[in-house]
Each structure stands twice: as structure tokens, then as C-alpha cells.
Amino acid sequence: MNKRNLILAALATSAGLALSTNALAQTFPDRPIRFVVPFAVGGANDIVGRIVANRLSQNIKQSVVVENRPGAGGSIGVTSVVRSPADGYALVLGESGSISIAPSLMKKPTYDSVTDLIPVASLIELPLVIAVHPATRIRNLKDLVAYGTGKSTPYGSAGIGTVQHLTMERLKRVMKLDMTHVAYRGGAPAMADLMAGQIPVLPVSASTAKEPAAGNLILPIAALGKNRSSVFPQLPTAAEQGYPALDVTVWQGVFAPAGTPPAVVEFLATEIRKVLAAPDIRKSITDQGVDIADMPREDFARIVREDSKRWAQVIREGNLTVD
């Protein structure tokens, strides 16, 4: 085949692909979409997922069926979608732990967050704060350094490999402190022990900290996001206190298997952003104590890549793994 014929063949192939992609976009979705929520029914993640799925179903005139597949920090549900056909009919509700942490933490990872998944749409952000027991007399991050210098300071988390755990691993390296991890089976027992003074320090979501802080049972000393928390607007961020490396926000979004047609991804991204723009949906979600994180898909993908790289480094430095 001569050069001219090769060019014509390539153009014909490109045109065919464009036509097939456009045709797919025009017919999608023509059957129910499976939306995997890798957490138990009734939790905050599940509630947000169902709010979005129900309105998306109404808007696109097609069923979006929520399937709860909890276990292994969300990785079981994520893996099930990674192994599904890449046609837009299998989506997963992913968050910082299951997407950006789990693959680097597992000895035998079942997926790669960057190469096996496509970020479709960002949904929410859950700002974190560092909280202490008031009896410690720690009032800011400088006080925490002074409190922890020359001794081993215990800190709590919702479990091994959680964002809270890795946040504190990063903090102790940045601050050059000797700190001992006390892993709990969830955030509630960890908070109970902080309020009881059994542990002095705990990273926790701002929304979870609001009520016990109002009752002077705990004391938030630093917000960990880029901006101050809407729950504690007077609380300085870690960056404002001289520790910009402690910029941590837990996020949640919708992901599809790698290879899903671009037109389908863009359709879903556009429709999900329409859902998030509805005033009643925004209220329903923010009533759960989280912030809407609507942003261009490219920005969300960048955050996923950066977080995956950052947490992988923390995991390597701490020599952390789970079975």
C-alpha cells in the first residue's frame, strides 16, 4: 500500500471511530447503570452516593442501581468495577482511601488507581482537623511539637491505612516527633477515647468534631485543608501555622473502568455536575456535614494523581502494608 492509501485508510479508520463514538453517545444509556458503593448501607458515603444516583436516574431517564459491596477499606467494590466491561454501565463511588491509598498499601494490589480507573466526577470534600483532649493544654501545632518532644505520643485513627493514619504518619515526620499509632475499628471508638482522655491526639473530620468541640470535650487545633473549615472558620490551617505539607482533604467521586469511551465519560461527567448544581441536592448533601466539590473533570483527575503519589510516598517511608 502506498503512502497516499495509508493516509486515506488512517483517515477512514478515524472517521469510523468518531462515528461509532458519536453513535454510542447518542444511545447511552439504553439499560440500567450499576453504581457500586463500596461501603455499608446507611453510612455517610452510602447516603451521598444514593442522593446522587437517585437524581441522576431521574435526569437521564434510566435506572442507576446502587450496589453496596463493602469490605477491605472499599477495595472489594472498586476491584469489581475495574474488572467490569469498560462501557459506562459500571461505576464506583471512590474516595481517598480506596482510590489513592489502598493500591499502595496492599501487598498484592488488585488495581492501580491511575491506570485502571477514569475519574468521572468529583462529588464531595470532607475537611479534616487535628483534635486534642483539652487537658493536654495543646492549643496549636507549635504546642503539639513541644508536647511531643522527648517522648512517644500516642495518636488514634479509624484504622490502619486510613487517611487519618497516614496523615499522622506524615505529621510525625514533618514535625520530627516520635508518635505511636493506636488503630481503632472505626472513627466512633477513636473519638470516644479522645473525649475520655485515653488518647491525646486524633485527626477527625470537621463535621464529626463540631458537636464534641461545642461541648468542650475535644479541642481542634488545626484545619488540614487548603482553606479554613466552614465548620471552624476561626481555626487556622496547618499551612497558616507553618506546616504547608499537612494539606489533607478527604474526597469522594465517581470512577469508571479505564477504556470507557470518552464520549460516555463526558456524558456522565456533565450529567453528574448537573445533579450537583441542583439547590435541593446541594442542601441534601451539605446536611451530611460535607462540602460539595464540583470541579472540572481534569482538575479532579489531577487531585487523584497527586494524592496517589503523595500517599504512596508516605506508605514507603513508613514501610506500611496490610494483607
CATH number at residue 91: 3.40.190.150
Examine the fold and report which residue of 246, 264, 289 is the final residue of a domain before the chain moves on. 246
Answer yes or no: do 75 and 135 share one domain: no
Answer yes or no: do 114 and 260 share one domain: yes
Answer yes or no: do 207 and 153 share one domain: yes
Answer yes or no: do 223 and 133 share one domain: yes
pLDDT(57) > 70: yes
Confidence of residue 18 (pLDDT cuts 50, 70, 90): very low
Q: CATH number for the domain including 186?
A: 3.40.190.10
Please compute the mean of the pLDDT values over residues 231-253 and round it to a whole number: 94
pLDDT(130) > 80: yes
Q: Is 248 helix (H, G, I), strand (E, B) or coil?
A: coil
pLDDT at residue 45, as a whole number: 83
Answer yes or no: do 234 and 259 share one domain: no
Distance (Å, whole) CA 140 – CA 152: 18
Residue 73: name the closest of 176, 160, 198, 195 by CA.
160
199 contact partners, CB below 8 Å, separation of at least 6 = 133, 154, 155, 156, 182, 190, 193
Answer yes or no: do 52 and 91 share one domain: yes
Q: Which three cell numbers stand for residue 224?
A: 488540614
Answer yes or no: do 136 and 275 share one domain: no
pLDDT(121) > 90: yes
Confidence of residue 17 (pLDDT cuts 50, 70, 90): very low
Q: Taking a C-beta distance cutoff of 8 angstroms, is the pair 230, 205 a contact? A: no
Examine the fold and report which residue of 246, 276, 308 is the final residue of a domain before the chain moves on. 246
Answer yes or no: do 262 and 312 share one domain: yes
At 26, which helix (H) or strand (E)? helix 3-27
Residue 8 belongs to some domain of the structure = no
Residue 1 belongs to some domain of the structure = no
- Looking at the 3D structure of the chain, how many domains does it have? 2
Q: Is 156 helix (H, G, I), strand (E, B) or coil?
A: strand
State pLDDT tens for residues 262-284.
Answer: 999 999 999 999 999 999 999 99
Distance (Å, whole) CA 185 – CA 248: 22
pLDDT(24) > 70: no
Residue 5 belongs to some domain of the structure = no
pLDDT at residue 19, as a whole number: 46
Answer yes or no: do 254 and 161 share one domain: no
Examine the fold and report which residue of 246, 274, 309 is the final residue of a domain before the chain moves on. 246
pLDDT at residue 293, as a whole number: 92
Compare 323 and 250 and report the one with higher pLDDT.
Answer: 250
For residue 199, what are the domain limits?
127-246
Q: Which residue has the cell 487519618?
A: 164
| DSSP code, position 131 | E
Encoded amino acid at 151, one letter:
K
Q: Taking a C-beta distance cutoff of 8 angstroms, is the pair 293, 251 a contact? A: yes
State pLDDT tens for residues 58-115.
Answer: 999 999 999 999 888 889 999 999 999 999 999 999 999 999 999 999 888 999 999 9
pLDDT at residue 61, as a whole number: 96
Residue 17 belongs to some domain of the structure = no
pLDDT(304) > 90: yes
State pLDDT tens for residues 157-172.
Answer: 988 888 999 999 999 9
